[in-house]
Structure 1
């Protein structure tokens, strides 16, 4: 049985049919349902059923209505002391379902519709109506957040027609209409609501007025975040005139440089600019340069735009070749790498005709055609004035409201607020820091502290507003207690975001309380589950570290990362993917630890970190960056050691995967020589395996076999099962390249059994792929396909794209051999495209030959239309889609 009150009150039987009830029994049911199973006295029932006054016969009539209701619901209507109750056990009740799940689809009309009853039912209906309104708000917020403003507007229009004075719904309708490109309709909705409120003797609230004003001026904060542009952390206040001017200048130039002092808001303005013009471009990329210290900017640019380097080709050439269409690049924080940033911008603008560049810096780049946009502080009130509408005071008022839990500046505070903004020269960061202090200090005291602690006009820095920012941060720093100051200084060693555990390692103590207080005081940001210092405060914190404290803090950071990186990457799929993401997020800090070790600490630690990072660089396709770090670390720690030999082996692997086989061979042989000199058998086996693959890629098969046989012999003598399996697999690969399949196959089988015994999934996939290739060459297509599909499944589980491509190509070759030339050619084209994007060429000679032969055979078996169709279908097929089809 089902009871329903979200619309006309009714009882539905098990077949879904609504039972017939007369008005008074229905009203009686409504009262009992509103009581939610609690007893209702007869006296109260009389008052509910006859709210205007019960007749003399009401008691007898009530019993008659109870009997009528029992004919429908049975003994669920039971007697209770002095009255009746409705047993809801085992029945469904739409109001209860709505309250627990918020499903708006349960509603069929107004709550308790069609029932003329007293205050209990009215109260229950009012409560459900409010819950319905809240659910509608939640639905609209989710729909807008999902980027579906048209869907939201369609539904909200009907709801607002029902409740034209419901300002919360009207706000969401206006926002949905605005984001649907219907600003005029959004303002019409506001006008209708204003008229509805006026008929009730009221007027729109300040939030609705503010939204209407924002729609009229097309405030960019009303838009959803643009793809490629970070979401706004808080409201963008003021700068409308500057933003309009910057947009105009960008529309007539290809290089716009926003210049100004630290803390003026150059980054924020550039991001808002990118957000507003994003729709005019095919892509927007933010290239953050604040943490870049040495070397070319090519690798950071490639990482920011998601382009992997290609072997044998300079990174910048790869980027410029793939950076097509109308693209906006924001090069943020260029001042400390100005010559390199200038060279990069010059090359991009010369080679990529569709690229526009917005740069932020403390000085111009100095390029021909560069348009300079100078950004100072926000507009402040004139001396002696207290204009609350100037941008600086508006920013302060907004941040004060956030700091005080919604309570903004009082009228009596405006004169002091104007003075504060003038004394801070309108610099946004200084205003933000000042507002954050208002949680603990009155505004007048803050100004008095500025009188003593901050001199806006003089100082040792040649840049006046840099002097202002340093003074503002000095003041904020000195408001901290000793534990907070110490923690802030130590947090300066991080080059990016960090978590609580990392903060604790650097602090050497539990950082939770002081870190929370630093967040409260706006000295540390908390965003997306991680902590972060903005660049200016991070630089300030590092400068505050004394020599001993600096050595201890960086030493702790280095120890933390050497310990974490000592653990090899996990081999199972989800954990491996998580490891990659976590390492990418921490990359800048990890390399800051390595850099400090190489410059000021123990160079061996820098070498240890670089050697441990090679797998990340290899999987992420950042081989050149990895080689740069490894070269630097190897140069700083030249003494022969097992650590140096491991680093050489890592560098050799990255060089080989970059296509530089000569360097890979040289590095690999140097590493082997070190291991031999140390009589390190385990290291020798690993180095020999590395060299085996490189020599194989060079088609130096005699040397490759010699390396392989020695590696296998040493691994067997040491009883190292993993290296036995690896050496068997790699040596068999060389034999297969030489056409000696009878010798290769048992070694591949031995490798597969060894990897499976060790639960080494990556090794297992490699052996399966190799066995499949051997079976294919022997004409055993069914086991070849089975093994290659299994290898593909494992590589997909591990998230190793290069392995997936090997397997896709193997299955494509089988398709061609078994008569599906068009399908095979499509898969080969998908793999070729993905290899180019990943910068992961195949370097095994016989696999390259097999692939080329299969492509030639497929093209030869097809007419021109079929070949074109295969390549066209490949363009529309992602790697993920191809893999899913092959495994489906």
Structure 2
């Protein structure tokens, strides 16, 4: 039985719909509004006869109760002084809507034609407000996901019902604008204004501001798309090319946008992806301009957020992710300098992923069978002597208006502007640079300067496709004064964004003024709190570095990075998170510095930086990339025992082990130990022994693992090194636990925990707590095991260490299974397995692997097939952050196990 009030009040019994007579229906409405609570007879009389109950009302009420019972049976029960409706086990669409927000449950207005008094009116009003909030939430999600046409269709009907609701009106206007219907968006505001005027009101300032933004085509109104960067200004021109590209990509799976540098290939590809985002389940941009070395599939995986898996080629992991995601659009941007590798990657992806579309930008086609090419030249320019408002002139006029604070081209300037656009071949970047100069120079002087530079540079470049853009950039460069030119050249060594301090370290003078002027002249971008060079300009700047200046700039950069990475990553939560984010933002610059050091500079410094980067490569799930750089650096430096080589071998061994390559990890670890022994580095020896004991433990070579562990512990104690004593105690105890020697293991784990707490080493504390929890669980001490594992989870969450979070989640899952919650435990295990696969960080501790498998088998046996399937469905709909938040929230509320998503 199901009660429905989201529309006319009715009862659904199996497939039949029953609508009671008016008074029984009103009675039902009042009881439903009470949500199972008793309603007194006096209240019922007032509700059913709001204008005053007749003398026979009490008897008539009993008759209506009897009539209602004929439909719902004994669900209408007598309560003290009145009646109540028992809703247990029955469906109730209002409650379902409140839980789910599903607008499809509505059939009209709440409690429509129900009768009843104030309680029903209040319930209807409450549900109406919830419905409005759900509509607004749906509209926001539709607009955010690019379904603006569908949003406009649905919102139009809702606004017709509620023409004065300004929240819905605003969303409808935005949906119409993004659907290319700006006129209808403004007409909607007019209708709302008229409706409000009838009530003696006027639209709020937010609606008026939106209308003004629509009239000026404000670029911030453009639809955001997940995976795509926001654009700083309006997209002008290329409409024909964009429409053609959309049509071609609708029937093809690989489209290449080809053309010279500065033609606007990247911008067109992003607009194409933005307009087609709604047709795909995921959209990603893979920037290749900074890729210099190594397989492209590693950069692709990083851009997609796909983590490496041990023993599995990265490309296989990527293709599996793409196929699991559904319809995916990937933009491979700036392929020209890695064209053979880009071609091979595109071929492999399109062959393995039937739901994938690829858009590539390159200065020449990839040359694949089935490739569709859209070739870009310059924007359309007027013929000689004409001043037509072609795309090139429109772009110049728009950018001039922005540069002059709203003052655009004057009529007297149009002839010169048209000539300027022609002389720049209509290339968008050159036009952007020219417009920026109009803040300080008249158009005629810019033309004379440009004319001389074009003549000077024609045919000078050995690369033909660079000639026109080189002329435009060189002209802009010559307009700079000497300090600006000097700084721009040095900034060319920075492969990504940078801050003022980095710019200052590259030169001997204060860079603030010249850097600000470079931003004003569009030679440097300021975005998201960081500076950045446009790639073509950066290439130009780097080429302008003379030999001595180039060496000096890169040497300074290497010194900056050496100092920055000399300190180990902070282990407290916010600082660690900030460190990881900062290294990630500068990753391209860092590896460029490593590459220069290994090929042109001091290889030992390249090895120093690579060794210091291992923690980032591990946390970011880029183990293969880290191993590649460390391998190159080790090969480029003398194979002689040094402390630096020992640290580098230890870093490589850790990355190899964490990615599942235990044999390589053992080999590298033994080389590391031999190196530290040779140089007499006691601390290094202890670290190497700790590294090896973990690897041998993972290989189930327990005698060797214990030998490594006890030696590490002995040396650490002799050196009074508290940090290493704690680490060796904790790690050696892990091997003892694997061997079933729990008494010995527990004592060493406790010693490690005490040591880490004394040092305030939060990562060490979390590891020791997790290990002690496992020991307590094996001894049947479930309550302390759960408390310790939850504390470990909290610390790992604060530090942003996902692998540690998964260790803790698996430990809590096994406790759930043991304490009678197989569904909750299995759900956590399934989620952890999924996240480990994505992270590329498999479990490698033998006894933990065995515990997990035993727990999963027990949960499956307790649940049975259909329940297991339900658990998997629920886990698939749950994210790692949601799960961690639920577990920690449950710990904070002290309510035993946290509630898991329903299976």
Q: Give the TM-score of the pair, scaled to structure 1.
A: 0.78
1:612 positional shift: 0.3
Contact 2:144-2:224 within 8 A present in 1 as well: no
Could you say which residue in structure 2 is the equivalent of 1:32? Answer: none
Could you say which residue in structure 2 is the equivalent of 1:430? Answer: 430
The 3 A distance-change label for structure 1 pair 540 and 578 is same
Could you say which residue in structure 1 is the equivalent of 2:579? Answer: 579
Equivalent residues in 2 for 1:213-224, closer than 5 Å:
223-224=222-223
The 3 A distance-change label for structure 1 pair 546 and 590 is same
Could you say which residue in structure 2 is the equivalent of 1:346? Answer: 347
Could you say which residue in structure 2 is the equivalent of 1:704? Answer: 705
Equivalent-residue separation in structure 1 for 2:337 and 2:660 (angstroms) = 33
The 3 A distance-change label for structure 1 pair 612 and 298 is same
Contact 1:171-1:211 within 8 A present in 2 as well: no
1:509 positional shift: 2.8
1:823 positional shift: 1.4
Equivalent-residue separation in structure 1 for 2:774 and 2:303 (angstroms) = 37
Could you say which residue in structure 2 is the equivalent of 1:785? Answer: 786
The 3 A distance-change label for structure 1 pair 581 and 457 is closer
Equivalent-residue separation in structure 2 for 1:302 and 1:341 (angstroms) = 14
Could you say which residue in structure 2 is the equivalent of 1:843? Answer: 844
Equivalent residues in 2 for 1:843-862, closer than 5 Å:
843-862=844-863
Could you say which residue in structure 2 is the equivalent of 1:289? Answer: 288
The 3 A distance-change label for structure 1 pair 155 and 517 is farther
Could you say which residue in structure 1 is the equivalent of 2:403? Answer: 403
Equivalent residues in 2 for 1:226-265, closer than 5 Å:
226-265=225-264
Deviation string 1:444-484 (CA, Å, 9 cap, x unpaired) is: 11111122221399413466552111111111111111111
Equivalent-residue separation in structure 2 for 1:238 and 1:222 (angstroms) = 18
Equivalent residues in 2 for 1:79-478, closer than 5 Å:
174-175=173-174, 177-179=176-178, 185-186=184-185, 188-189=187-188, 211=214, 223-324=222-323, 325-387=326-388, 389-455=389-455, 458-461=458-461, 464=464, 466-478=466-478
Deviation string 1:82-108 (CA, Å, 9 cap, x unpaired) is: xxxxxxxxxxxxxxxxxxxxxxxxxxx
Equivalent-residue separation in structure 2 for 1:163 and 1:815 (angstroms) = 48
The 3 A distance-change label for structure 1 pair 270 and 770 is same
Contact 2:269-2:331 within 8 A present in 1 as well: yes
Contact 1:221-1:236 within 8 A present in 2 as well: no
Could you say which residue in structure 1 is the equivalent of 2:817? Answer: 816
Contact 2:177-2:214 within 8 A present in 1 as well: no
Contact 1:455-1:468 within 8 A present in 2 as well: no
Could you say which residue in structure 2 is the equivalent of 1:883? Answer: 884
Contact 2:306-2:838 within 8 A present in 1 as well: yes
Equivalent residues in 2 for 1:436-585, closer than 5 Å:
436-455=436-455, 458-461=458-461, 464=464, 466-585=466-585
1:441 positional shift: 0.6
The 3 A distance-change label for structure 1 pair 145 and 857 is closer
Aligned residues: 730
Equivalent-residue separation in structure 2 for 1:174 and 1:882 (angstroms) = 37
Deviation string 1:261-309 (CA, Å, 9 cap, x unpaired) is: 1111111111111111111111111000000011110111001111101
Gaps of 5+ in 2: 1-135, 196-207, 891-903
1:510 positional shift: 1.9
Deviation string 1:551-578 (CA, Å, 9 cap, x unpaired) is: 1111111100110101111111111111
* Partner-residue secondary structure (3-state), 1:841: coil
Equivalent-residue separation in structure 1 for 2:686 and 2:537 (angstroms) = 48
Contact 1:225-1:232 within 8 A present in 2 as well: no
Equivalent-residue separation in structure 2 for 1:885 and 1:367 (angstroms) = 49
* Partner-residue secondary structure (3-state), 2:763: helix
Q: Give the TM-score of the pair, scaled to structure 2.
A: 0.77
Deviation string 1:225-265 (CA, Å, 9 cap, x unpaired) is: 22211111111111111111111111111111111111111
Equivalent-residue separation in structure 1 for 2:855 and 2:165 (angstroms) = 68
Could you say which residue in structure 2 is the equivalent of 1:101? Answer: none
Equivalent-residue separation in structure 2 for 1:255 and 1:303 (angstroms) = 21
1:377 positional shift: 0.3
1:640 positional shift: 2.1
Equivalent-residue separation in structure 2 for 1:618 and 1:741 (angstroms) = 30
* Partner-residue secondary structure (3-state), 2:506: helix
1:187 positional shift: 5.5
* Partner-residue secondary structure (3-state), 1:617: helix
Deviation string 1:504-534 (CA, Å, 9 cap, x unpaired) is: 1112332111100000010000011110001
1:818 positional shift: 1.6
Could you say which residue in structure 1 is the equivalent of 2:591? Answer: 591
Deviation string 1:334-375 (CA, Å, 9 cap, x unpaired) is: 000001000000000000000011101111111110111110
Contact 1:264-1:375 within 8 A present in 2 as well: yes
The 3 A distance-change label for structure 1 pair 543 and 233 is same
1:863 positional shift: 2.3
* Partner-residue secondary structure (3-state), 2:455: coil
1:223 positional shift: 3.1
Equivalent-residue separation in structure 2 for 1:822 and 1:563 (angstroms) = 50
* Partner-residue secondary structure (3-state), 1:320: helix
Equivalent-residue separation in structure 2 for 1:272 and 1:241 (angstroms) = 13
Equivalent-residue separation in structure 2 for 1:457 and 1:774 (angstroms) = 74
The 3 A distance-change label for structure 1 pair 212 and 483 is closer
Contact 1:692-1:707 within 8 A present in 2 as well: yes
Could you say which residue in structure 1 is the equivalent of 2:760? Answer: 759
The 3 A distance-change label for structure 1 pair 562 and 154 is farther
Contact 2:182-2:214 within 8 A present in 1 as well: no
Contact 2:163-2:169 within 8 A present in 1 as well: no
Gaps of 5+ in 1: 1-138, 197-204
Equivalent-residue separation in structure 2 for 1:506 and 1:305 (angstroms) = 33
Equivalent-residue separation in structure 1 for 2:573 and 2:730 (angstroms) = 22
Equivalent-residue separation in structure 1 for 2:843 and 2:163 (angstroms) = 63
1:799 aligns with 2:803: no
Contact 1:458-1:464 within 8 A present in 2 as well: no
Calculate the aligned-residue CA RMSD, in Å: 3.1
Could you say which residue in structure 1 is the equivalent of 2:898? Answer: none
Equivalent-residue separation in structure 2 for 1:174 and 1:881 (angstroms) = 34
Deviation string 1:710-740 (CA, Å, 9 cap, x unpaired) is: 1111111111000000000001101111111
Equivalent residues in 2 for 1:733-744, closer than 5 Å:
733-744=734-745
Equivalent-residue separation in structure 2 for 1:744 and 1:161 (angstroms) = 71
The 3 A distance-change label for structure 1 pair 885 and 181 is farther
